[in-house]
Amino acid sequence: MALVVRKQAPVETSDRWEDYDKTTRIQLRSIDNPQYQVAIGRARRIVEGFDQKAGSEPVAMDGERTWFDLQSAALAHYVIAGWEGVPDEDGNPVEYSPEAAEGLLKADVSFFMWVLNKATTIAAERLKSVEESVGKPRRGGNGKGSGAAPRKSAA
């Protein structure tokens, strides 16, 4: 089988605003964001490192961070890009920062799941858009699709 380099559209990293509720909007990036992917890869290696140190003992080690903590940090820094209408306990608006977002993600599992779901949806929609614009070759063909049958040699 011959190698074929196919056209690929660049990964779109533009932010998208999503309504969380009637008064709150969250600015999100896709989970296919390269910085997020690097952070998640690093988080996996951190967890694996603790697993190797712990061996078969099912106990928490000093300084160990949970997968949830690491995922919250990655989402806060690389997927959530901003927000409007997020209040503190007294009803005062909270300015977006990765640290504030991480705290909110850790404190509210439903918000964590909403962010992860929306960011995944953004990635899926972007992939579908890329596939539609780049196109896919038909199965069983070489991608050229001329439709002409090969010539028979005169023997």
For residues 133-152, give the mean pLDDT.
58
- Residue 98 in tokens: 């990765």
Lookup result for tokens 């063909």: 141
Q: Residue 28 forms beta bridges with which residues?
A: 16, 80
Q: 42, 100, 105, 120: which is closest to 75 by C-alpha? A: 105
pLDDT at 1: 65
Burial class (CB in 10 A: 0-12, 13-18, 19+), 144: exposed
Question: In this predicted model, which residue has the larger pLDDT, 147 or 49?
Answer: 49
Candidates 39, 155, 34, 58; CA nearest to 98 is 39
Residue 147 reports pLDDT greater than 60: no
Higher pLDDT, 13 or 125: 125
CA-wise closest residue to 10 among 118, 129, 146: 129
Beta-ladder partners of 80: 28
Name the residue with higher pLDDT: 1 or 95: 95
Confidence band for 50, pLDDT divided at 50, 70 and 90:
low
* Pairwise CA distance, residues 72 & 93, whole Å: 21
Confidence of residue 84 (pLDDT cuts 50, 70, 90): very high
Q: Residue ranges per domain, the chain?
A: 16-130
Q: Give 97-129 pLDDT, tens digit per residue.
A: 999 999 999 999 999 999 999 999 999 998 887
**Strands annotated E in the chain:** 16-19, 25-28, 80-84
Average pLDDT rounded to a whole number, residues 45-59: 69
Query: Is the pLDDT reported for residue 94 higher than 90?
Result: yes
For residue 53, the model assigns a pLDDT of: 64
How is the beta sheet containing 25-28 ordered, strand by strand? 16-19, 25-28, 80-84
Mean pLDDT of the chain: 82
pTM tops 0.85 = no
Per-residue model confidence as pLDDT tens digits over 56-70: 666 665 666 788 999
Distance in angstroms (rounded) separating the CA atoms of residues 107 and 22 = 21
pLDDT at 130: 74
CB 26 within 8 A of CB 18: yes
